[in-house]
Structure 1
């Protein structure tokens, strides 16, 4: 039983994989990533825009026949999940078509779990309750890891946004301070000139007759 359990754990680690990517998408460009998926496999994904413009991107997920499974337009971060209804090449596409000048940096994770079809066959012929629990636990752990990475990416994105905002506020405050000094100096100079003219004192300090 111990040997069988160890084999099941090894099989689980090999059969279910998670992949993480970071890509830079130019203005008006689109990047697509393909994944070979079997019928019945669970797919979980998440993404976030960490740099560029308004931190927004268009996402579309297509199945093996080209049908749109999921779509989210103009969002900075999101997650999705589905069960493959057929075997083939599934595509995940990020589009920056809405931006004519700014590129976007996108980080995303894809987790492809074990096939539910194969899982059902294995449960009937090979798996005892403990081994079945190990399979379910492994898939749950992968989901948790994927969600943690998603939250970490969002936290990093928020930190970078806050840092950028603080920098802009600092330089704007400096500009306002210099502008106030400039306006104050101009007003004092203009007021002094006005008073000198009213009192009849010339530029050399003599009273004008």
Structure 2
């Protein structure tokens, strides 16, 4: 934990910078995982709106003879689904054992990238190893290809890179504001719900107290104690 006795304005600016930096980190996510015959693996990525995302993957099949993983046969691939923040499917199709999957986010928020095998009859029920690399935003740019295609000088290429980076940072800042607005709306809704529930409890207590007093008065009058 990092403690800071900085002024509030500086602390807020530092917090915003760290939040944007934390969002930029997962834009490149290289990893691998093992998946069974009927398993479904999903990965959640927080992505700003109108951002290009490219999922690179490679499937390997376990070889019991060598005790390791080898490239899978062409018939074994991956079924990939991408869900937007409203859990609506924006991409669903079967891909081969190796390749890349591009898509564009149209809504800001958490996108789910789900993968499962397109085969249900593996030899001996072997596991698959899936190498996964998720890139988003400026990280998806192939600058070598851009330089060659547009015949850019090194200076022009560097300017293009900087412009793309500024564009990505702007999107991240807008996404941070979007998250803050959602958090504020949720907090206000929660506070209103707590206030209404507290008011309802107070009303119930007052009504119960009034009823008990009336009941006791009737009881004492019936017993001629008052």
Instruction: Please give the TM-score of this superposition, normalised by the length of structure 1.
Output: 0.45
Normalised by the length of structure 2, the TM-score is: 0.43
